[in-house]
Amino acid sequence: MVVPLFAQETFAGLASESIPIDREKQYQTMAIDWMQQYLRIDTTNPPGNEGKAVAFLKSIFDRENIENQEFEYRPGRGNIWARVPATVANPKRPLILLSHMDVVTSDASQWKYPPFSATINNGVMYGRGAQDMKSEGLAQLMVMVMLKREKVALDRDIIFLATADEEVDDSGTDWMIANRRELLENAEFLITEGGENPLVGGKVKYVGLDVAEKSPFWLHVVATGKPGHGSRPSPDSAPNRLIRALYRIQNYQPEIKVIPVMQEFMRDLAPLQPELLQPKFRDIRRAMKEPAFREMISQDDSLNFLFRDSIAITMLSGSEQTNVIPAQAWANLDVRLLPGEDPTKFLETIRKVVADPNVTVTPMKDNFEVPNASPIHTDLYRSIEEVANHYFPGAPVVPRLSGGYTENQRFRQLGVVSYGFSPFAATEEEGSTEHANNERIRVAEVERGPKVLYDVVVNLAGAK
């Protein structure tokens, strides 16, 4: 007997109601089993060893008769690509489900359970990669298998891509784009890590979708001056010049800029604010013209970086010895630029702020990844909104600007609309285990997450 999963509820456009409940249960069991197997593969990067993860994923795709290709670009390291093809005559452009297989290092002595044991205790699964990002990779794998087994009619190809080396050098994605670009560049949409669905008091507060990223533009500041003995100080010494330069940088505030994503973000968050602030959040461009409000945003570390290029002084160095005045002193600045910014102009400005011929400011890297953003009025965005509405009623879907780097940046340059979206809800505590000790995810999320993502995909790509 076929029992619709959501028998009592109707929500327009979601084709997934057709999965019978017994198979739904099977998928949940499969998800837990595969998640444990995946977490037990040690892909700590460095060195990565993603080849073992490729073999694991490939064995599943082969067994399920899903078209796939593996690319071993270095011994023991590689990517895997798979596809469930469209079933209509003139398909739309593909959707890519992207994940990375490598994980960051872990110190087993600091963990409750070994980081590659995938131990389940009290409904919680522990393992390096449980948040970042084997969980989402698993959900993407499940979606491929579910699409195939349920014989879903699709109006576009669904492409699965798992890459190596995201956490260190990004050589996996670099290799794919350099060598097998034709397998990816025609895509219209891409979903990968990023985004967050914070669980507060048992309810998802909002569904955050990363649609834009700032880009690192790290700067190296070097001051030179007369060296000498520490017993004879001079105001023109390198350390003194450096300190004065950094003081000027510290007091320099890049101007506030409201990019379109932030306008939407603030508007969507308005209903969650105290009444007095709501109109300001709804029209942030106008509110930013009020000095008091601008000051309030500037003082709020959780908001300030979203509205301006940011500068953090992070590394400092002078003499190796207390009694020696060095000829050189240096500092590094972690600078992050908003989408649309010009690094050359920014550098010019900082040099003007420093205004000292004995202090140089230079970029630490030759290549600058241009910060970019994806539009939000898209079919994928709407699809996520509809599905989020079902699973997390009352939680608005909000577009976010991310301060860090993800592979979205690379794919946006190919013309692919790329979002950071998580199909899992996590408490702040669970989320904070990413890259930390005792990384974990609740088993209930492992069971549900694949279905959330499946609904998004079917809602977008199910042939009407």
Interface residues toward Zn ion, by CB under 5 A: 132-133, 193
d(CA 338, CA 324): 41
Tell me the closest approach of the beta carbon of residue 23 to Zn ion, in angstroms: 31
Tell me the closest approach of the beta carbon of residue 307 to Zn ion, in angstroms: 26
What's at 393, amino acid-wise? P
Nearer to Zn ion, 195 or 396 (CB): 195
Nearer to Zn ion, 45 or 215 (CB): 45
CA dihedral sign, ordered 99, 461, 381, 452: negative
Tell me the closest approach of the beta carbon of residue 102 to Zn ion, in angstroms: 9
**Three-class secondary structure of residue 360 per DSSP:** strand
Tell me the closest approach of the beta carbon of residue 222 to Zn ion, in angstroms: 33
The torsion angles phi and psi of 41, rounded to 5 degrees, stand at -85, 115
Nearer to Zn ion, 133 or 354 (CB): 133
Nearer to Zn ion, 165 or 447 (CB): 165
Tell me the closest approach of the beta carbon of residue 173 to Zn ion, in angstroms: 12
What separation in angstroms does the CA of 19 have from each of 76, 195, 351, 365? 38, 27, 61, 51
The torsion angles phi and psi of 171, rounded to 5 degrees, stand at -65, -25
| β-strands 207-213, 397-402 pairing | parallel
What's at 55, amino acid-wise? A
Nearer to Zn ion, 192 or 224 (CB): 192
d(CA 196, CA 88): 34
The DSSP line for 408-428 is: HHHHHTTT-EEEE--S--B-H
Nearer to Zn ion, 170 or 447 (CB): 170
Tell me the closest approach of the beta carbon of residue 215 to Zn ion, in angstroms: 17
Contact 400, 208 (CB under 8 A): yes
Contact 162, 99 (CB under 8 A): yes
- 52 exposed, middle or buried (CB, 10 Å; 0-12, 13-18, 19+)? middle
Residue 207, token pair as written in the block:
């569904």
Residue of closest CB approach to Zn ion? 132
Nearer to Zn ion, 309 or 407 (CB): 407
d(CA 415, CA 187): 8
Nearer to Zn ion, 191 or 359 (CB): 191
Q: Which of 443, 378, 429 is nearest to 127 (CA)?
A: 443
Nearer to Zn ion, 132 or 210 (CB): 132
Contacts of 364 (CB under 8 A, 6+ apart): 218, 219, 220, 332
Nearer to Zn ion, 129 or 371 (CB): 129
Angle at 202 between CA 23 and CA 460, to 5 degrees: 45
Query: How much helix, strand and coil, in percent to the nearest 5, is found in the chain?
Result: 35, 25, 40
d(CA 365, CA 23): 51
Tell me the closest approach of the beta carbon of residue 192 to Zn ion, in angstroms: 9
Q: Which of 454, 430, 432 is nearest to 441 (CA)?
A: 430
Tell me the closest approach of the beta carbon of residue 286 to Zn ion, in angstroms: 37
